[in-house]
Amino acid sequence: MSERTLRILVGKPGLDGHDRGAKIIARAFRDAGFEVIYTGLHQTPEQIVAAAIQEDVDCVGLSILSGAHNTLLPRVTQLFKEKGAGDIKVFGGGVIPEDDIPSLKAAGISEVFTPGTSTEEIVGWVRSNIQPRA
C-alpha cells in the first residue's frame, strides 16, 4: 500500500496583491507530484485555516510580501491550534527580513524561505519535513 500524495494549500494572506511567486511555487509543487490547493489573493487567516481543514491538507505554505508577516503568519498557526488542527505544518516565504525569522519560528512557522530560494530547495524541504497526516 503506497502513501497518499501530500496535499498542500498555498495561501496569500492579507492585502498583498502580488501572487506571481505563490503561483510559481504552486506549480512547482504540482509538478513535484503534490496535490495543491491555491486560495487566491486577499485571504484572511480565518479563511486560510478553514480551507486547509476542509481540504484535509498536510501543510500550508503562505506567501507574503506586504510586511504583515509578523502578524498574519502567527495568527494562522494560532487558529490551527484553536481548531484542533495544530498538526498541520505551516511554512512561509516572501520578503521577510532575516531578523524576523526566529520569532516566526517561535510562533510555530516550520520554515521561512526568503527571496532567491529555488523552487527545488522548497520542494526538497517539503519532501524531507512533511508527512501525510493520519
User: Taking CA 15 as the corner, what is the angle to CA 14 and CA 21, rounded to the nearest 5 degrees?
Assistant: 85
CATH code: domain of residue 27: 3.40.50.280
Instruction: Say whether 84 sits in a helix, a strand or coil.
Output: coil
Q: Please list, residue by residue across 2-13, b when 16 or more beta carbons sit within 10 angstroms of its beta carbon and e when fewer do.
A: eeeebbbbbbbb
Residue 56 in domain:
yes
pLDDT values of the chain reduced to their tens digit, one per residue, 134 residues: 457 899 999 999 999 889 999 999 999 999 999 999 999 999 999 999 999 999 999 999 999 999 999 999 999 999 999 999 999 999 999 999 999 999 999 999 999 999 999 999 999 999 999 999 97
Q: Does residue 2 lie within any of the structural domains?
A: no
Tally of domains in the chain? 1
Residue 105 in any domain: the answer is: yes
Is residue 75 in some structural domain? yes
Provide the pLDDT for residue 16: 85
What's the domain range around 23? 7-129
CA gap 30, 28 in Å, rounded: 5
| pTM (predicted TM-score) | 0.95
Does any domain span residue 134?
no
1 within some domain:
no
